[in-house]
Chain A
Amino acid sequence: MVGAACAHYAARAGLSVTVLDRGPVAGGTTGAGEGNLLVSDKEPGPELELALHSSRLWRKLAEELPAAIEYETKGGVVVADDATRLAALRSLAAAQSDAGVDAREVSGGQLRELEPHLADGMPGGVHYPEDAQVHPALAAAHLLRASGAEVRCGEEVTAVLTAADGAVRGVATASGARLLAPYVVNAAGTWSGEIARMAGVRLPVLPRRGFVLVTEPLPRVVRHKVYAADYVADVASGSAALQTSAVVEGTAAGPVLIGASRERVGFDRTLSVEVLRRLAERATALFPVLGGVRVIRAYAGFRPYLPDHLPAIGPDPRVPGLVHACGHEGAGIGLAPATGVLTAAALTGSAPPLDPRPFRPDRFPDPCAAPDRRPR
């Protein structure tokens, strides 16, 4: 999705763009997501600013792209299950409001009006009307088509070509093709660290695994994206250990999606029954009605995780011509448009719409830094 957005806004800025994907469209990071466009799960700071800007851009894209992308401004509802969590949620919502988020505290009774199937006894929560959803694979495909960029699927980048002065000259692919270009945008999702390595720089993108349970098709049982208040803490955690918190939402096609788990186990795709069990347990605690509904499948994906939970967006000063747009963790679908706009601004040298400095790709110190080989 991030690559599609970069292609879209770069092409719109007048650049000639070729998109290389080693697999099919949305076959990697994007296709394993749920398509969330969230402002609710972000603490005030650069990521929230990126999310708010993206939220506005998504509204415009939804008008331009076909209805098939299933854009829905369903809103988010965060539920606290005890008084302590409610107090923490309330202070987060207050800070988010100051940062421009529409966050409305709701009582336990109002929660039931928003979500009639919610469990009894929830003391309260916060309603975020700006949270939205798209079908990630369809949205990526339609955005890519609308961009007018040349798209080459099944074409894996095997080398980043550089000139004698160290600047990027293009890429080589597994089919033997050499594409020459003054700029290469690294939007390889969870595999972006490899592209950076090919260019001789370190970008510590790590996979953070998550599972999603998919129920049988249902009528509208869950109206919003509903999640437990501890989800925000899990997202912000740096731990490699397994964390699960209930995240429940319906889809246009009928199935309810149940997440969210986070663990750092490399690129291991082995199905974890323990994770699925915990997801089901937490989801049914939030929505007891789901206890009588069947799960028909589960899927796993890898969030592109950077140690400080911020994406890497912008030119890499270590390799002229290399521009990164990756490391958005679980928020890449939502953050894609603003990332595309920032990337296009970097490529054309125009003024960015928001401060890109927090996303500098060279902000991670190299733990085994050798003396710099490159002339500056």
Chain B
Amino acid sequence: MKPRRTTSPARPRPTPRDVVGADPGPAFEITFDGRSVAALPGQSVAAALWAAGILAWRTTRGGGRPRGAFCGIGQCHDCLATVNGIPNRRACLLPARPGDAVTTQEGAGRADLAV
């Protein structure tokens, strides 16, 4: 990480949204493990979670370790989440929709099928 500039300007640093001049429309609500999270139209589930400071929403199958977005472009499958009850959704590709219920995915997220 680059060291922070010591002569920081008075105004806040621009966000990517400011840089491209985006006007996404009004925010809506999704939930993460029951807690309210704000999302913008067009934002992926992973982006909305990150913007709320949530970095992990899955545990690994073997060691139960936390996982969230890694590649961010749909390739690595690290960001799998359970969305509206369906496991293994790639949070980095899935657009957030009003009312989406995202829940932490434990392992394969299909414990109900185990025999």
**0/1 per residue, B80-115, Cβ < 8 Å to A?**
000000001000000000000000000110110111
Tell me whether B61 is interfacial, beta carbon within 8 Å. yes
A217 contact set on B, CB distance < 8 A: 61, 88, 108
- Inter-chain contacts of B108 with A (CB < 8 A): 216-219, 254
Number of A-B contacts (CB under 8 A): 30
Q: Which residues of B contact A116 (CB under 8 A)?
A: 115
Distance (Å) between the CB of A151 and the closest chain B CB? 30
A219 pairs with B107, CB closer than 8 A: yes
Partner of A223, one of B107, B110, B113, B115: B115
Q: Is the CB of B114 within 8 A of A221?
A: yes
Q: A107-150, CB under 8 A of B: which get 1 and which 0?
A: 00000000111000000000000000000000000000000000
B79 to chain A, nearest CB (A): 14
A218 CA / B105 CA spacing, docked (Å): 13
Main secondary structure of the interface of A (DSSP, over half): loop
Rounded to whole angstroms, the CA-CA distance of A347 and B61 in the bound complex is 46
Q: Is the CB of A117 within 8 A of B113?
A: yes
Q: How many residues of B contact A (CB 8 A)?
A: 9
Asked if A219 and B88 sit within 8 Å, CB to CB, the answer is no
Tell me whether A94 is interfacial, beta carbon within 8 Å: no
What A residues does B115 contact at CB under 8 A? 115-117, 220-221, 223
Interface string of B46-83 (1 = CB under 8 A from A): 00000000000000010000000000000000000000
Interface pair A216/B114, CB less than 8 Å apart: no
Q: From B77, which residue of chain A is reached at the shortest CB distance?
A: A296
Interface positions of A from 233 to 264, Cβ below 8 Å from B: 254
Taking beta carbons and an 8 Å cutoff, which residues of B are in contact with A?
Answer: 61, 88, 107-108, 110-111, 113-115
Q: Which are the 3 A-B pairs with shortest beta-carbon distances?
A: A219-B114, A116-B115, A217-B108
